Every structure is written in structure tokens, then in C-alpha cells.
Amino acid sequence: MANNAAPLILYGVPFSQPVRAVMWLLLNKQLPFEMVLINPGSKGDNGSRNPTFLAKNPAGTIPCIEEPETGFTLGEAHAILGYLASKHGWHDLYPADPAQRAKVDWYLHYHHRNVRDASLGLVAPKIRKDLDIPQAMQDAARKTLTAALRTLETGWLANTTYLTGEQPSIADIAAYVEIGQLQPQFTNVYNFDEYPKVQQWLNNMQHLKGHDDVHVVLSELGDISVNAPSMDAIKNANKRALQTLKQRLAEISGSS
């Protein structure tokens, strides 16, 4: 049956880890959406620090979603993942049972000052040269990430296939967009040899529907471990990612 309601708007770019988490959930569940490109950190017309965008998300960060029918906006990737899963009853990825759901929330809160440092320490210094991230900050972030990976190896993934049980959840999606980007087939900036359970989990997550489409931006960019990519390479990776997304969104709206 045709659905004429204006689709959900997702503000962001595919290079952003938390934006990829939201894209992945939406593609996994085949929910039609429109991607509106927002340049993170820019005060320009389509920038996340422009007053127009700040009116939607006062934090000035992507992702942010907007429901055109009501004007409802929501920032923070994990709030968005939880909201969409609750709204659409995607209990396979965000359990209805309060205790199981709380475990997913537990990881989502833990993520911010721990796993999220993967980007600050290892990826942003190569991709966002303009940020000029001090070496001491990069070193501290790498240390935090290493401690977090040990915690995943010996805690979260010690007895279960996924972070909070035997099925993947939005916690795994949020974690993978950070940790997965470091793998050899993408940026290749971290050695996972000491973490066999994390490696197995990374392999399992690659089978979750939507993985390949969401990660086109990284497979296109390739290894950045030795040389930082050129601006053209970054633009090209983004372009290819958006072409793939456009194709998938056309398929989704054709079938809904």
C-alpha cells in the first residue's frame, strides 16, 4: 500500500560514526527517510553550527532527525536509536523487557566516554586535519579505547555473542560504527590481535542487514594507516556512499 506521509529527515553525513548508526538502523528496518547533508562544525548555510541547524539541535552536532509532519526534532544518536526502535516496536533490536532494555541502555551510556574515543584518537586526526587535535589528546583517547576494548573482551562479550545477549541490538550498532571503522578492510588503524572475542563479534556484525551499504564510505576511502587521505579522496568516498544510499532509498520507497 502506498504511504504518502513525508519521510523522516536524517541530518548528517555518512562519514560521521553516530550518523552511520542511525542510517544502519533505518536501512536494516527498511524505513524510508531523506538524508539532508549537514557539514559538521561549519557555521555555513548547511553547517551544524549554523543558526538554522542549531534551532533543531542546540548542541550543533549530527545526527539529528526531524519528523516533517509534526516538526518534532531529536538529537543524540543513542536517543534517536532508542526513540525510533520504541516508536516502531523494533523489539528485536531494543527489547521491550525492562531489564533487557536497561542492559542495552547501559552500554549506550558507557559508550560515550569510552568506545567513542576511537574516533578522537585514531580517525579524526587523519580525516579532520583542520581540527588540529593535540598529540596528548590523541594518546589519551587511544588509551581510553584500549581500556574499553579490554572491557568488551573480558566483560560485555565474555559470555555472549553480542554485547547484551545472543541477538544484536542497537548497542551493537552504536559500538560497531566506532570500532568497526578501525578494521583492516576500512581505515586499518588498530591491531585487534589481543581481542579474539571482539574480532569474532566484528565478523558477526558484518552479517547484520545494512552493514555493507552503511560502510561504503569507509571501503571506498580504504587504508589511512600510513597516509592521511586527500580531500578529493574523502569527497569521492562520500559521493559513492551517497550514490549507494540514494539507490537503497529508491528501492525502499518503491517497495513500501
Ligand X SMILES: N[C@@H](CCC(=O)N[C@@H](CS)C(=O)NCC(=O)O)C(=O)O
Could you count the other beta carbons within 10 Å of the beta carbon of residue 71? 8
Residue 75 or 153: the one with the smaller Cβ distance to ligand X is: 75
Nearer to ligand X, 61 or 244 (CB): 61
Q: Which residues bind ligand X (CB under 6 A)?
A: 16-18, 40-41, 48-49, 60-63, 76-78
Q: Which long-range contacts (CB under 8 A, 24 or more apart) does 73-79 make?
A: 77/18, 77/19, 77/21, 77/22, 77/174, 78/18, 78/108, 78/109, 78/111, 78/170, 78/174
Q: How far is the CB of 198 from ligand X (least distance, A)?
A: 21
**Which of residues 195 and 216 has its CB atom nearest to ligand X in the complex?**
216
Count of Cβ atoms closer than 10 Å to residue 137 Cβ: 15
Provide, rounded to whole angstroms, the least separation between the CB of residue 60 and ligand X.
Answer: 5
Gap between the Cα atoms of 115 and 230, Å rounded: 26
Nearest Cα residue to 172 out of 132, 200, 147: 200
Q: Which is nearer to ligand X, 197 or 229 (by Cβ)?
A: 229
Nearest distance from residue 114's CB to ligand X, in Å? 13
Smallest separation, CB 58 to ligand X (Å):
12
Identify the three-state secondary structure at position 8: strand
- Of the pair 60, 197, the CB lying nearest ligand X is at 60
Nearer to ligand X, 63 or 95 (CB): 63
Is the bond leading into 229 cis (omega within 30 degrees of zero)? no
Give the number of residues written for the chain: 256
Task: Judge contact between 78 and 108, C-beta under 8 A.
Answer: yes
Q: In 3D, which of 19, 192, 190 has the Cα closest to residue 117? A: 190
Minimum distance, C-beta of residue 64 to ligand X, in the bound complex (Å): 8
In angstroms, what is the minimal distance from the CB of 63 to ligand X? 6
